[in-house]
Amino acid sequence: MKYQVVIGLEVHAQLLTNSKIFCGCSTKFGAEPNSQTCPVCLGLPGALPVLNRKVVEYAIRAGLATSCSIAPRSIFARKNYFYPDLPKGYQISQFELPICLDGHLEIELEGETKRIGITRIHMEEDAGKLLHLDTMEAGEMSFVDLNRACTPLLEIVSEPDMRSPEEAIAYLKKLHQIVVYLGICDGNLEEGSFRCDANVSLMPVGAETFGTRAELKNINSFRFIKQAIEYEMERQADILDEGGKVIQETRLFDPDTGTTRSMRSKEEAHDYRYFPDPDLVPLVIGADWIEDIRQTLPELPDAKRSRYVGELALPEYDAEVLAASREIAEYFDACLAFYPQAKTVSNWVMGDLLRSLKEDNSNIADCPVTPRLLADMLQLIENGTISGKIAKTVFDEMYKTGKEPVRIVEEKGLVQVTDSSEIEKIIEDVLAKDPVQVEAYRSGKEKLFGFFVGQVMKASRGKANPGLVNEILSKKLKG
């Protein structure tokens, strides 16, 4: 391709507060239409907004986690437009003085790290939802549900720093991981808790001036973002190839066809007539509050990964898998506190634990095997009470019942046999049963050693200490 794509992203993240941004109504998803409303979020005459402190705290968290500066004074503004899902006829947002400015995050792609700038993060209220139905009685009808009206959103605006769809996806995934890690957004793309608009333009390779951009809306999965950008790159390239000009417009992505279509041109764009909302006083944030919030920030994925590799000497792959989700990382860290052997813990978490959870389609937070139980079991392996193989049986039982590993071992009689005379006896029995193979081994067929180990373990029902078995067996076979 002779064009370079330039991509900037605007993400809307719905915040996980219990109540709305400017009133006390619940933000719970899926309630009876219009049941979670009051004069404020209905936009009734005389109603006034009061800012939810938690929303500000969450915005500061997002800002700190993306290296933004937090504005000591920021302003809410009204964005004026008419639409039936917008009861006041304006959306309360931030415009000239947003709460967070000038941050960045880092993405890794094919071993290379790239910094993507974050222009700003601001707080705003969501609109309600419209439902269009063709009814028997009255024909086509539109219904308004204002449960979602006034739920808090963060809008996170990137710089036009991305140069491929892959970079855009890496940025989005990173941002998604951060807001979920921070506990400020559930990150649910299908329910619209994490939505993305993309600004896409092309310029000749080597050029410095950006081309005219199109804004793509309605992209609600990581897969679609790639599709939408790739389609848009082709569309714009075709126009430029034919000597045409890309026009500045808003385009809607259609997930069914994987294409975008024009929604409105620059000329049709709304004049939102932003101005400071006189119903809300300027938001003044003290340095103390910012510091308090900084203290409570969790260790973020990048920091975790580099700690796992640097301090715990885990392989990159393990670090990546463990740090990908805050719950898994916290589970790992908790387990490590009881049993400080990073690679062993990592193997069990990434192996049996995550596999079992995946088979069950269940969440690590609900896992009956607590970090302490897993650590106890690893201790049993280390002190020789059970073998690694028996441990798998113990783990499965713990996963089913949540019982202490010691109890499982006792109840099921799974204690490892470490008494050498007992093992000697088993070995003698095995060898006595199969003199032909013993003879074969002794005449040079040393590969048979493994066969005998297997027979011995089988005879001991897996409980014989493998080290002792090896030692005694090789002695006995030598005669």
Partner 1 sequence: MQLYELTIHELHAKLKTGEVSSVEATRSILDRIDAVEDKVHAFITITPEEAMQNAAAADKRIAAGEMDILTGIPVALKDIFLTSGIRTTSASRILGNFIPPYDATVVAKLRERGIVLIGKLNQDEFAMGSSTESSYFGVTRNPWNADHIPGGSSGGSAACIAARQATTTLGTDTGGSIRQPAAHCGCVGLKPTYGRVSRYGVIAYASSLDQVGPITRDVTDCAIMLGAIAGHDPKDSTSVELPVPDYTQTLANGVKGLRIGLPREYFIEGLDPEVKKAMDEAIATYKGLGAEFVEISLPHTDYAVATYYLIATAEASSNLARYDGVRFGYRNSDAKGLLDMYMLSRDEGFGAEVKRRIMIGTYALSSGYYDAYYLKAQKVRTLIMEDFTRAFGKVDLILTPVTPTPAFRIGEKTSDPLQMYLSDIFTIPVNLAGTCGMSIPAGFSSEGLPIGLQLIGSPFGEETLLRAAYAFEQNTLWHKRKAKI
DSSP, res 35: -
Q: Which residue has the tokens 């000497």?
A: 313
CA-closest candidate to residue 200, choices 226, 170, 174, 171: 226
CB 53 within 8 A of CB 17: no
Of 190 and 271, CB closest to partner 1: 271
Of 137 and 366, CB closest to partner 1: 137
In whole angstroms, what is the distance from residue 124 CA to residue 88 CA? Answer: 14
Q: What angle do CA 267, 268, 269 make, to 5 degrees?
A: 90
CB 194 within 8 A of CB 179: yes
Other CB atoms within 10 A of residue 129 CB: 15
Of 50 and 303, CB closest to partner 1: 50
CB 22 within 8 A of CB 51: yes
Of 41 and 246, CB closest to partner 1: 41
In whole angstroms, what is the distance from residue 166 CA to residue 465 CA? Answer: 51
CB of 48 to partner 1, least distance (A): 5
Exposed / middle / buried, residue 297 (Cβ in 10 Å: 0-12, 13-18, 19+): middle
Task: Name residue 31's amino acid.
Answer: A
Task: Name residue 200's amino acid.
Answer: V
CB of 34 to partner 1, least distance (A): 10
CB of 144 to partner 1, least distance (A): 7
Of 45 and 206, CB closest to partner 1: 45
Beta-bridge partner residues of 79: 91
Of 86 and 170, CB closest to partner 1: 86
Other CB atoms within 10 A of residue 101 CB: 17
- Residues that bind partner 1 in the complex, under the rule CB under 8 A: 39, 42-51, 78, 80, 82, 84, 87-90, 144, 271, 273-275, 278-281
CB of 42 to partner 1, least distance (A): 7
In whole angstroms, what is the distance from residue 416 CA to residue 413 CA? Answer: 9
CB of 93 to partner 1, least distance (A): 13
Q: What angle do CA 163, 164, 167 make, to 5 degrees?
A: 90
CA-closest candidate to residue 357, choices 390, 399, 321: 399
Of 29 and 275, CB closest to partner 1: 275
Other CB atoms within 10 A of residue 446 CB: 11
Structure tokens at 448: 């048979």
Structure tokens at 441: 């081994």
CB of 138 to partner 1, least distance (A): 13
Structure tokens at 387: 């073998």
Of 89 and 351, CB closest to partner 1: 89
CB of 142 to partner 1, least distance (A): 8
Of 47 and 101, CB closest to partner 1: 47
Of 81 and 317, CB closest to partner 1: 81
Name every residue whose Cβ is closer than 8 Å to that of residue 192 and which is 6 or more positions away in sequence: 14, 220
